[in-house]
């Protein structure tokens, strides 16, 4: 993957307002995916659909995997790496949704979450770019990444065909001065706009 510039995709799903608890199969949802090149959206798709099942901890791929796969497969141009709000090895079976989706699409993936699922580790220094390991036992499965001073760090999860170094580099290059990577923000906004239009 080139270090200077590459096409970064992201996907997001939102549910109808007011939904609480684990939900159920058939819950209406809106899935969005974008491709960003040098800070500019060059591809976007949004589809409506339905959840495949309720949320069961550790099995998010069963609830959202088909919808994510559907919307990403519609993208043009095809991204070189995909960001999503999901885990990789930080998972009871070391196979979170970010890993599942990457394998299904044969596309490098990076998970970006606000907190770890199982892994533990101290926060990094309060400076942009600072990292610290998140481990399960003796294995590092993710990393904290401080994107801005004074804000909670993000968790970066290497997933399909990515490692810690590449994952952190992709996330840092996608921040656009914000706490959350811009491709993820754009996908979330697109999904919410689609929901509001219904």
Distance CA 172, CA 129 (A): 7
Distance CA 101, CA 24 (A): 21
Distance CA 54, CA 82 (A): 24
Closest of 48, 44, 55, 42 to residue 11, by C-alpha: 44
Distance CA 183, CA 79 (A): 11
Read off the pTM: 0.94
Distance CA 120, CA 143 (A): 10
Q: Where are the domains of the chain?
A: 7-196
> What length does the chain have?
198
pLDDT band at 3 (very low <50, low <70, confident <90, very high): very low
Place of tokens 């840092």: 172
pLDDT band at 6 (very low <50, low <70, confident <90, very high): confident
Average confidence (pLDDT) over 17-46: 93
Q: Which two tokens stand for residue 108?
A: 């490098």
Q: How confident is the model at residue 22, as a pLDDT?
A: 86
Average confidence (pLDDT) over 156-176: 96
pLDDT at 86 over 70: yes
Q: How confident is the model at residue 34, as a pLDDT?
A: 98
Q: How confident is the model at residue 4, as a pLDDT?
A: 42
pLDDT at 14 over 70: yes
pLDDT band at 172 (very low <50, low <70, confident <90, very high): very high
Pick the CATH number of 7-196 from 1.10.3720.10, 3.30.2170.10, 2.60.40.180, 3.50.50.60: 3.30.2170.10
What average pLDDT does the structure give for the chain?
A: 94
Asked if residue 154 lies in contact with residue 113, where contact means CB atoms within 8 angstroms, the answer is yes
């Amino acid at each position: 993957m080139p270090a200077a510039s590459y096409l970064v995709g992201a996907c997001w799903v939102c549910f109808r307002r007011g939904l609480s608890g684990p939900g159920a199969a058939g819950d209406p949802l809106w899935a969005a995916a974008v491709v960003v090149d040098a800070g500019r959206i060059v591809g976007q798709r949004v589809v409506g659909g339905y959840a495949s099942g309720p949320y069961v901890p550790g099995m998010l791929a069963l609830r959202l995997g088909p919808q994510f796969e559907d919307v990403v497969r519609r993208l043009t141009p095809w991204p070189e790496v995909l960001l999503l709000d999901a885990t990789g090895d930080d998972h009871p079976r070391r196979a979170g949704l970010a890993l599942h989706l990457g394998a299904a699409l044969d596309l490098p993936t990076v998970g970006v979450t606000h907190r770890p699922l199982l892994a533990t580790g101290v926060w990094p220094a309060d400076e942009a770019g600072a990292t610290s390991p998140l481990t399960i036992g003796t294995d590092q499965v993710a990393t904290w990444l401080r994107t801005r001073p004074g804000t909670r760090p993000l968790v970066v999860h290497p997933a399909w065909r990515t490692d810690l170094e590449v994952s952190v580099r992709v996330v840092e290059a996608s921040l656009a001065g914000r706490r959350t990577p811009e491709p993820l923000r754009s996908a979330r906004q697109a999904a919410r706009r689609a929901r509001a239009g219904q």
